[in-house]
Amino acid sequence: MRMRTAICSASLAASLLLACTKGSGALQPPPEPAAPQSGGFERAQAARTDADVERFVVELRDAPTLGPSTAAVTVVMFSDFECPFCVQGLETLKRLRDLYPDDVRIAYKALPLDNHANALLAAMAARSAQAQGKFWEFHDLLFSGRRLDPGVILSYAKHVELDMNALVHDLDTLEYGPEVRRDARQARRLGISSTPTFFINGRVISGAKPLAEFDRIIGEELRYADNLRAAGVPDEQLYAETLRGGFEEVQYAKGRRGLDPDGVYAVPLGDSPRKGPDDAPITIVSFGDFACPFCAKGNATLERIEAHYGDKVRMVHKHKPLPFHRQADPAARAGVAAQTQGKFWEFHDALYAFGPTFGSGDLRTIAKQIGLDMQAFDTEMSSQAAADRVEADLALSMALGVNGTPAYFINGRPLEGAYPEIHVRLLIEEELERAQTARKQGIAPADLYEHLTHTPLVD
């Protein structure tokens, strides 16, 4: 395994050292081109003149493209429709297409940033437009400079004469959410977190750089393509051949801090409180702190998720009282005491409804309101058994790498923080697809959680 140090993204500190690996990770190398006659493959290997060029394997898959598939140069742009720098980058790409109409192909990848409220919606709408054969017209309108909101996005869709019923259905059901999330996972594997980021035949450019920088690299790539053609590589295989041996992912030299957003964690359920069918295709494990305002916000989102998905979702709660919330640990132990009497969720819901500013007396008031045996409640709440249960959940959270609250694991896939509902639903939709695939493989409904949490994510 070959290791390299690289700078990952213009948004990261310049001193951050990364280790690049090839031949490992979820991405696989592009398929090898068929060997031409008369030793053509060997001649193609000998023709390589890019030994000192760092390339990344950027698979196109179903990405929208503009330009001939036989182009010598493929430029992949990871972009965000609300990013002003992406507008500048797009203008550069248009000029390159004018300069090299037959030699340059453009490919779009979605990287909607969390701080852009409508970028995700626009990216999913663009995929819907792609399904209707009108991606690039819609794409260019989204980048036309007007501030985006749902109304503007729909007005652009009408302007390019999209089937509005189909678009609304696609957005309502998050039809193309998995495709957008897949692009974002690919971006993370490649070590990028800012937009725009370009890959010119796998060579990275971060940010909206001057045209001259693109032109220089494209000139080098055109000369390299001539060498490959002379060695017998067909035009339709130039991109795959150029990327051969490139790096498939970026790995941090000192390891990742916290949870891997693309990892799958086998979170044991134990005897934690749960609600919903045991054979539900989706299990959401929450690590929460009753005194955390963000947990209250996240819980409100989960209530909407539960209402939307019904019996498709099973909820599991684990305690993570944070040390700087004075009432968090007593509240967690009170939750254990309520669970002992079979009324955890009633206590859970009532306490979150009260809000994070509760005091010790409020815990007893809520316990009375939901009909608990108060003597048993007081005894259990102050018991070593309750303290041990809370401590066990805390230890598990630390072992998993959970640093704050709320933290959720959806079929083992992590979400840290109180994300908007759409982000939670997107992950659930992906997991419903994984669950459906597992069922087709013969996995019983009751075994889905165990199976999915021990199955790595593969794009």
Is residue 302 domain-shared with residue 422, that is, in the same domain?
Answer: yes
Is residue 245 domain-shared with residue 339, that is, in the same domain?
Answer: no
Is residue 245 domain-shared with residue 323, that is, in the same domain?
Answer: no
Is residue 223 domain-shared with residue 280, that is, in the same domain?
Answer: no
What confidence category does residue 252 fall into, taking pLDDT thresholds of 50, 70 and 90? low
**10-39, pLDDT tens digit by residue?**
333 332 222 222 233 333 333 333 333 334
Distance between CA atoms of residues 407 and 43, nearest Å: 53
Of residues 346, 321, 315, the one with CA closest to residue 333: 321
Q: Dihedral through CA 139, CA 140, CA 142, CA 147, nearest 10?
A: 160
Does residue 432 fall inside a structural domain?
yes
Domain final residue pick, 219, 252, 285:
252
Cα 24 vs. chain centroid, distance in angstroms? 19
Q: What angle do CA 66, 134, 61 make, to 5 degrees?
A: 50
Is residue 238 domain-shared with residue 362, that is, in the same domain?
Answer: no
Does residue 169 fall inside a structural domain?
yes
Does residue 66 fall inside a structural domain?
yes
> Does the pLDDT at position 7 exceed 90?
no
List residues bridging with 79 in a β-sheet: 110
Of residues 110, 26, 22, the one with CA closest to residue 62: 110
Does residue 190 fall inside a structural domain?
yes
Pairing of strands 4-6, 18-21: antiparallel
Within 10 Å of residue 439's Cβ, how many Cβ atoms?
Answer: 14
Total domains present in the chain: 2
Residue 331, classed as helix, strand or coil, is helix
Contact partners, residue 154, CB within 8 Å, separation at least 6: 164, 167
* Section 346-371 average pLDDT: 95
> Does the pLDDT at position 318 exceed 70?
yes
Domain final residue pick, 192, 220, 252:
252
Q: Dihedral through CA 424, CA 429, CA 433, CA 435, nearest 10?
A: 50
The pLDDT of residue 37 is 38
**150-204, pLDDT tens digit by residue?**
999 999 999 999 999 999 999 999 999 999 999 999 999 999 989 999 999 999 9
Is residue 150 domain-shared with residue 25, that is, in the same domain?
Answer: yes
Is residue 212 domain-shared with residue 294, that is, in the same domain?
Answer: no
Residue 176 near residue 170, CB atoms below 8 Å: yes
What confidence category does residue 51 fall into, taking pLDDT thresholds of 50, 70 and 90? low
Does residue 145 fall inside a structural domain?
yes
Pairing of strands 313-319, 282-288: parallel
* Section 329-337 average pLDDT: 97
The pLDDT of residue 249 is 85
The pLDDT of residue 80 is 97
The pLDDT of residue 338 is 98
Is residue 242 domain-shared with residue 316, that is, in the same domain?
Answer: no
The pLDDT of residue 256 is 59
**105-155, pLDDT tens digit by residue?**
999 999 999 889 999 999 999 999 999 999 999 999 999 978 999 999 999
Is residue 102 domain-shared with residue 223, that is, in the same domain?
Answer: yes
**376-417, pLDDT tens digit by residue?**
999 999 999 999 999 999 999 999 999 999 999 999 999 999
Q: Residue 384 maps to which CATH number?
A: 3.40.30.10
* Section 210-226 average pLDDT: 96
**411-431, pLDDT tens digit by residue?**
999 999 998 999 999 999 999
Residue 141 near residue 79, CB atoms below 8 Å: no
Q: Residues 324, 325, 327, 330: is their CA dihedral positive or negative?
A: negative
Does residue 43 fall inside a structural domain?
yes
Distance between CA atoms of residues 208 and 86, nearest Å: 7
Distance between CA atoms of residues 141 and 402, nearest Å: 41
Distance between CA atoms of residues 381 and 358, nearest Å: 16
Please give the helix or strand (H or E) that residue 200 lies within, else none.
Answer: strand 197-200
Residue 201 CB-half CA count within 13 A:
30
Q: Checking phi first, is residue 169 left (phi over 0); if not, alpha (psi -120 to 50) or beta?
A: alpha
pLDDT exceeding 90 applies to what percent of the chain?
Answer: 83
Is residue 224 domain-shared with residue 288, that is, in the same domain?
Answer: no
Is residue 220 domain-shared with residue 353, that is, in the same domain?
Answer: no
> Does the pLDDT at position 351 exceed 90?
yes
Alpha-carbon distances of 436 from 221, 281, 423, 448, rounded to whole Å: 43, 8, 20, 10
Contact partners, residue 62, CB within 8 Å, separation at least 6: 179
Q: Checking phi first, is residue 202 left (phi over 0); if not, alpha (psi -120 to 50) or beta?
A: left
List residues bridging with 410 in a β-sheet: 284, 413
* Section 67-80 average pLDDT: 97
The pLDDT of residue 257 is 67
Residue 241 near residue 233, CB atoms below 8 Å: yes
> Does the pLDDT at position 337 exceed 50?
yes
What confidence category does residue 43 fall into, taking pLDDT thresholds of 50, 70 and 90? very low
Mean residue pLDDT across the chain: 89
The pLDDT of residue 154 is 97
* Section 84-108 average pLDDT: 95
Does residue 179 fall inside a structural domain?
yes
Q: State both tokens at 370.
A: 């939901």
Residue 88, classed as helix, strand or coil, is helix
> Does the pLDDT at position 286 exceed 60?
yes
Enclosing domain of residue 215: 4-252
Please give the helix or strand (H or E) that residue 214 lies within, else none.
Answer: helix 211-230
The pLDDT of residue 146 is 82
Is residue 106 domain-shared with residue 143, that is, in the same domain?
Answer: yes
Does residue 419 fall inside a structural domain?
yes
Distance between CA atoms of residues 266 and 73, nearest Å: 42
> Does the pLDDT at position 353 exceed 50?
yes
Residue 393 near residue 287, CB atoms below 8 Å: yes
The pLDDT of residue 254 is 61
Q: State both tokens at 392.
A: 């066990």
List residues bridging with 203 in a β-sheet: 200
List alpha helices for 77-163, DSSP H: 84-99, 119-131, 135-142, 150-159
DSSP character for 415?
E
> Does the pLDDT at position 45 exceed 70?
no
